[in-house]
Amino acid sequence: MAAALAARAAGVEDVLLLERDQHLGGILNQCIHPGFGLHHFKAELTGPEYADRFAGLVKADPGIEVSLRSFAVKLTKDKELSYLRPGALEEIKARSVILATGCRERTREMIPIPGSRPAGIYPAGLAQKMVNMEGWIPGREAVIVGSGDIGLIMARRMALEGVTVKAVIEIQKVSRGLVRNVVQCLEDFGIPLYLQHRVSMIHGRDRVEKVSVVKVDDELKDVPGSGFTLACDTVLVSVGLIPENELLEMAGGEIDRKTNTPVAPEVNLTSIPGIFACGNACKVYDLADWVTRDSELAGKMAAEYLGKAPEK
């Protein structure tokens, strides 16, 4: 939305905004905690409030056509884009494309946690959607793997909903999340954070029953004799995000295999002139405000590519 608005402000006449969900705002809609907008709006907002402010601006702009429940299925290097919307397959040709496709979560299968495959193991972001948007509580006693911001925020969210959060397990020496989240999400609720520990096994036949935890040394090797178990029925996995750049890949854009981000000399660019990638699809950000700032730049860059004079 920020890129669309910035492109309009820079003189682009006709913008089509495709959204696969039934509402604008993407992941912000499930991020119901406060902490958004301190930089951009100079006010502390929740995710839905932050999204709502942009959605209002987008809807008020007659030069932006919003197409909801629209799923982009194909992109070529000549910027021909196919997308599915209810009842139709649309094919259009754009002069410039901005990919703001965000990330997907790394799953339990992508990190080595041995054990059985019982019910009760969720990526933390999925659990966030279940709790905040669908009203389902995934379990009663939870262990969280990974101490990134999503893991920390879900620890607090689950605790507030009455779930006993037994521990957050982090293999590194420090939390990957913001310090304020360690304080207000864990310390406030007395949730232990085990740094330099890893989950070595998930137990349970039909449902998670417990996890084995072991301390690791500086080389990430298990410390013998340090193991213990935690009984739980739920494991939330918060171990990182993967930028979604399959459309760019389809169009022949160069992708860094390690990070799944576009290979480009500077932010928002891709190897294909006129195709831009912004937000978490470009690189994983820690603050939505910085996504907005850089996405506005992406909108301007697209406008410049289309021959609109840059702002004085």
C-beta of 294 vs 301, nearer to other proteins: 294
Q: How many CB atoms lie within 10 A of CB 280?
A: 22
C-beta of 159 vs 251, nearer to other proteins: 159
Out of 13, 22, 86, 312, point to the residue binding other proteins (CB under 8 A): 22
> With 0-12 CB in 10 A as exposed, 13-18 as middle and 19+ as buried, what is 4?
buried
* Segment contacting other proteins by CB under 8 A, of 74-82, 106-114, 128-136, 246-254: 128-136
C-beta of 95 vs 180, nearer to other proteins: 180
C-beta of 9 vs 32, nearer to other proteins: 32
Q: How many CB atoms lie within 10 A of CB 311?
A: 11
What CA–CA distance (Å, rounded) separates 286 from 280? 9
**Nearby residues of 41 by Cβ (< 8 Å), 6 or more positions away:** 50, 53
Take residue 100 and report the two structure tokens written for it. 């703001």
Take residue 3 and report the two structure tokens written for it. 């890129």
Length of the chain: 312
**Min. distance of Cβ 154 from other proteins in angstroms?**
13
**Min. distance of Cβ 25 from other proteins in angstroms?**
8
**Min. distance of Cβ 253 from other proteins in angstroms?**
31
What CA–CA distance (Å, rounded) separates 193 from 280? 27
* Segment contacting other proteins by CB under 8 A, of 102-110, 126-134, 232-240, 296-304: 126-134
Q: Between 25 and 64, how does the x/- string for binding to other proteins read (CB under 8 A)? A: ----x--xxxx--x-----x-xxxx-xx------------
What CA–CA distance (Å, rounded) separates 29 from 129? 9
Under the rule (CB under 8 A), what is the footprint of other proteins?
A: 22-23, 29, 32-35, 38, 44, 46-49, 51-52, 131-135, 160-162, 178-180, 182-184, 188, 286-287
